[in-house]
Chains A and B, each alone.
Chain A
Amino acid sequence: MDRDVVIVGGGPAGLAAAVECSRQGADVLVIDQNDLPGGQLFKQLHKFFGSKAHSAGIRGMDIGRTLLRECEENGVEVWLSSTVIGIYDSNLIAIVRETAAGKDFIRIRARKILLASGGTEKAISFPGWTLPGVMGAGCAQTMINVNRVLPGKRVLMVGSGNVGLIVGYQLMQAGADLAGIVEIAPKIGGYGVHAAKIRRAGVPFYLCHTVIAAGERDGEVCSALIGEVDAVTRKIIPGSEKLLDVDTICIAAGLRPLSKLARLMGLKHVFVPALGGWMPEHDGNMQSSNEDVFVAGDIAGVEEANTAMDEGRLAGIAMAHALGYMDDASFRKAGDEIRKRLESLRLGPFGKARFDAKSQFMGRC
């Protein structure tokens, strides 16, 4: 089976790319491992930042619905519960597709491939980190916002980046208590406005603190021992330990690009700490070191859904252009518009580090 474009990952980047690419006339297939499309969008019940062009002020789940509708209008095919198990020479993609009838093994050759497989949560290890009740913040978010199950009654959040802050807030909305937010750095990592929402609910921040161990009762978490760290050595200051009564510890230690497929394909990688670590190198059109392969979203450096969607759009038109569905002039014009928008998302104290990091290896974004 042959396709113009196969997009691996139906999150914000993948779906936005699919919409743009199919709009130009390309035949697009989106493959997603989950049984629901949208990636993280349908877990994101909060309103987005950004500008009007970025669906600012709209909740993630509603953005997801719009993208899916647009995919449908443009004839994009979306395969759910389908996993790419490998991509081989001549763009041969091996897929295991699960349907009501069972599992199928399908091989597809694509003229262009977009890897939009997202990011993966970083772990931290401490005594008890393998107990039930210790989980990634993303996992907790899936439980409350997709499965509608509360992971616990009293939660400690470890990490004060936007993920920790947003998930902490949503856990309270879902009915849990937030016992505190622990952050090893001397300042909060995420947006002040997210932190302020949490503080208004009376939740303490433990800055310069880390989790030392998880307590255990009947095989589950019953407490968290935290302690203050020396700002320089990051060692626990003796006597600073505090025992918190919690039944759940959420880890929001950041994300890194999920680039396994990219590495299997041998794409050139770069190490960019500001964007989560190793990631496939790409240019301003999201093209990787392999001319047939594009990357967008967290795999191309961990940022957020708005930048992911814009990167997806860039990749979408770049693939359409490469396949001859778009002329040079309109491609350049549309690309410049998106790049300008992307640039505006990478301004300010939070965006600048990401802007600089991206600029480092691709000239100007």
Chain B
Amino acid sequence: MMNDVADVVVIGGGMQGLSTAYFLLKKGRNVTVIERGDIANGTTSRSDGDIFVCDSTPGYFTKLQKAALDEIVALTHEIDDFDWMAKGCVILAENEEQVEIAKKQYQEKIADGIRCRFMDKHDVHEDEPNTAPDIPGGLEFPDGGSLNPMLFAYSLTRAIRQMGGKIRCFTTVTGIDVSPEGVLRGVRTDDGDILCSTAVIACGVWSREIGMMAGLDIPITPMKGDLLVLEPNVYITRRKTMDIGYSLLRHKKAGGADEKTFEEAHGIGFLIEPTNEKNALIGFSKYPADSTVSSLGVMQAMARRAIRFFPIIKDMNVIRAYAGVRPWTPDHEAIVSATDVQGLYVNAGHAGDGIKLGPISGKMMSQLICGEQTDFDLAPLRLDRFKEVRV
């Protein structure tokens, strides 16, 4: 047991926790990260590395994502390499109805200052000849790219340690000490207590149970996603490509037993992400479930969906499947916020965008804690927005 003192305790060694610690250390704070497993043991290690600005709600959130991308590009100059590949991405429409949706999205993105190109049937096949012949159109986003989430987490870890930050892995938080006046006094762990006046709950899907230790209601629930990994050395397409359903699904309460088909109930769509290791990730699914075991039916449905967009894929081998749980909030946007407990903050609930939004959220959390002006108005990301919804 080791009792300790810190300026700030960050609970959670995933993308949000590491980013928060990193930016706090840059501001000279003394930070200890508590992680119950190894670094990036939860959703971070089960994510794709998609850093794009093509699928967000127009306006505030699209601008936030654009800033998120800039933060990541900036980090490529600050920390060790994390396989950043700036290749842009493509969204495909499956039929004429979806072409119309694509045209509308094109207008929205341009309005938000995002570079975007509308592609007709000819353009789509000229761009990527492996695309199914009947795909009638799509959108091309030249900005953005992908990274390796694990390398990203380890690079941040090394940077944190170099700046004198402490990361205590395999240490479980057992309680949060709050004074009767509602002021944070410390964090209790199975390896001793840490006195601190500031703590950040950055536990993704597991934030709810940690919040309860301080009497907080953090409405984050698990939203499962599955991925398939294709064998190495396959070539399908040079860029990340997904079907337009990805952004459509993002804005509805995807999944659930009330949906008609298996595909609808499990939020099945198409996504392919070529990796630096020359294999490819195939997705996607989105349904409420608390399990990281791949579902057979979902694996099958994703395979069928992928073949529909790139028929060439049918003879390629799946070598592995994995699944993770997205930290889902009722409005599917993140929580970067102070709480009713003085000194206790939440940086969690980034749904399927945790890797992308990690650095910008971590940066803004450090600004919030240090009493500085935040890069964006944090009102849309406040925890208490859910209280209002419930009343």
CA distance A92 to B300 in the complex (A): 14
The number of chain B residues with a CB under 8 A from chain A is 5
A350 contacts B by Cβ under 8 Å: no
Closest to B321 in A: A86
CA distance A88 to B323 in the complex (A): 14
Closest to A265 in B: B293
A225 contacts B by Cβ under 8 Å: no
Q: Which residues of A contact B295 (CB under 8 A)?
A: 88
The smallest C-beta distance from A261 to any residue of chain B, in angstroms, reads 13
The smallest C-beta distance from B159 to any residue of chain A, in angstroms, reads 33
Q: Which residues of B contact A105 (CB under 8 A)?
A: 300
The smallest C-beta distance from B296 to any residue of chain A, in angstroms, reads 5
Q: Which residues of A contact B296 (CB under 8 A)?
A: 86, 88, 92, 94, 107
The smallest C-beta distance from A33 to any residue of chain B, in angstroms, reads 16
CA distance A244 to B300 in the complex (A): 52
Chain A 93-115 near chain B by CB (<8 Å), digits 1 or 0: 01000000000010100000000
The number of chain A residues with a CB under 8 A from chain B is 8
CA distance A94 to B303 in the complex (A): 15
The smallest C-beta distance from A192 to any residue of chain B, in angstroms, reads 44
Q: Which residues of B contact A94 (CB under 8 A)?
A: 296
CA distance A94 to B295 in the complex (A): 11
CA distance A86 to B295 in the complex (A): 10
Closest to A94 in B: B296
The smallest C-beta distance from B276 to any residue of chain A, in angstroms, reads 24
Which residues of chain A from 63 to 110 have a CB within 8 Å of any chain B CB? 86, 88, 92, 94, 105, 107
CA distance A238 to B294 in the complex (A): 52
CA distance A323 to B368 in the complex (A): 63
Q: Which residues of B contact A266 (CB under 8 A)?
A: 293
Chain B 281-325 near chain A by CB (<8 Å), digits 1 or 0: 000000000000111100010000000000000000000000000
CA distance A16 to B79 in the complex (A): 59
Q: Which residues of B contact A107 (CB under 8 A)?
A: 296
Q: Which residues of A contact B293 (CB under 8 A)?
A: 264, 266
Output the residue of B293, B295, B296 with the most chain A CB within 10 A.
B296
CA distance A266 to B293 in the complex (A): 10
Closest to A92 in B: B296
CA distance A171 to B255 in the complex (A): 59
Output the residue of A88, A105, A107, A266 with the most chain B CB within 10 A.
A88
The smallest C-beta distance from B285 to any residue of chain A, in angstroms, reads 15
Chain A 138-155 near chain B by CB (<8 Å), digits 1 or 0: 000000000000000000
The smallest C-beta distance from A1 to any residue of chain B, in angstroms, reads 15
Q: Which residues of A contact B300 (CB under 8 A)?
A: 105
Closest to B294 in A: A86
Closest to B295 in A: A88
Which residues of chain B from 246 to 305 have a CB within 8 Å of any chain A CB? 293-296, 300
CA distance A113 to B269 in the complex (A): 33
The smallest C-beta distance from A315 to any residue of chain B, in angstroms, reads 25
Output the residue of B293, B294, B295 with the most chain A CB within 10 A.
B293
The smallest C-beta distance from B93 to any residue of chain A, in angstroms, reads 30
Closest to A88 in B: B296
Chain A 279-298 near chain B by CB (<8 Å), digits 1 or 0: 00000000000000000000
The smallest C-beta distance from B138 to any residue of chain A, in angstroms, reads 31
Closest to B303 in A: A105
Which residues of chain A from 233 to 289 have a CB within 8 Å of any chain B CB? 264, 266
Which residues of chain B from 22 to 41 have a CB within 8 Å of any chain A CB? none
Q: Which residues of B contact A264 (CB under 8 A)?
A: 293
CA distance A92 to B293 in the complex (A): 14
The smallest C-beta distance from B240 to any residue of chain A, in angstroms, reads 27
CA distance A264 to B293 in the complex (A): 8
Closest to A86 in B: B296
The smallest C-beta distance from B273 to any residue of chain A, in angstroms, reads 23
The smallest C-beta distance from B328 to any residue of chain A, in angstroms, reads 22
List 10 A–B pairs whose Cβ atoms lie within 8 Å, in order of A's numbering: A86-B294, A86-B296, A88-B295, A88-B296, A92-B296, A94-B296, A105-B300, A107-B296, A264-B293, A266-B293
Given A86-B296, A92-B296, A94-B296, 7 additional A-B pairs, CB 8 A: A86-B294, A88-B295, A88-B296, A105-B300, A107-B296, A264-B293, A266-B293
4 closest cross-chain pairs (CB), A and B: A88-B296, A94-B296, A86-B296, A92-B296
